């Protein structure tokens, strides 16, 4: 990612309002599908609201984001909520691929699209692990490089046991078990 893009994300995160741990909005109604034990990886974690929520549920979480400002905010949020010992936040440029690490029970990627990472996300899961991925979609929305094409997530993760999925109104998401 360019330095200009990183600076733009730093500025956007720094201007954010109050942070509250919780599931991503697209997954809020199905949060019971998420595990409460094990290890998780959050890809493009932003300010850490999802990662901290997962840690509060009992998971050990590794989370990455390109913005050092967001990572600092995520660390503060984890400390404020008493789960800093279960969270490891790392500034990482996903243009370089997925950060190295052990297999995990859960991979979460919310509102970040990079099809070149799909295989690495799948490979990072233990057998039986859960993938929760969501993003913008061309289905019911505009076309563009940050939007998934019709059927993109199903095509990429169709070998998983699909627990639930949706596509429309400019959004797409899938929860599947490896």
Q: What is the pLDDT of residue 27?
A: 94
Q: How far apart are the first and last CA of the chain?
A: 30
Q: Is this structure's pTM higher than 0.95?
A: no
Rounded to whole angstroms, how far apart are CA atoms 12 and 38?
32
Rounded to whole angstroms, how far apart are CA atoms 89 and 98?
14
pLDDT digit string, tens, across residues 99-147: 999 999 999 999 999 999 999 999 999 999 999 999 999 999 988 888 9
């Amino acid at each position: 990612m360019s330095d200009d893009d990183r600076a733009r994300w730093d500025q956007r995160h720094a201007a954010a309002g109050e942070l509250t741990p919780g599931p991503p909005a697209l997954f809020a109604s199905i949060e019971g599908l998420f595990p409460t034990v094990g290890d998780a990886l959050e890809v493009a974690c932003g300010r850490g609201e999802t990662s901290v929520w997962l840690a509060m549920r009992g998971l050990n979480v590794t989370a990455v984001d390109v913005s050092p400002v967001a990572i600092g905010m995520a660390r503060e949020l984890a400390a404020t909520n008493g789960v800093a010992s279960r969270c490891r936040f790392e500034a990482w440029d996903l243009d370089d691929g997925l950060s190295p690490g052990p297999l995990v029970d859960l991979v979460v990627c919310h509102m970040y699209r990079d099809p070149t990472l799909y295989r690495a996300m799948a490979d990072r899961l233990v057998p039986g692990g859960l993938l929760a991925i969501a993003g913008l979609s061309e289905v019911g929305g505009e076309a563009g490089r940050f939007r998934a094409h019709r059927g993109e997530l199903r095509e990429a993760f169709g070998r998983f046991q699909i627990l639930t999925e949706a596509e429309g109104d400019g959004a797409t998401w899938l929860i599947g078990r490896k």
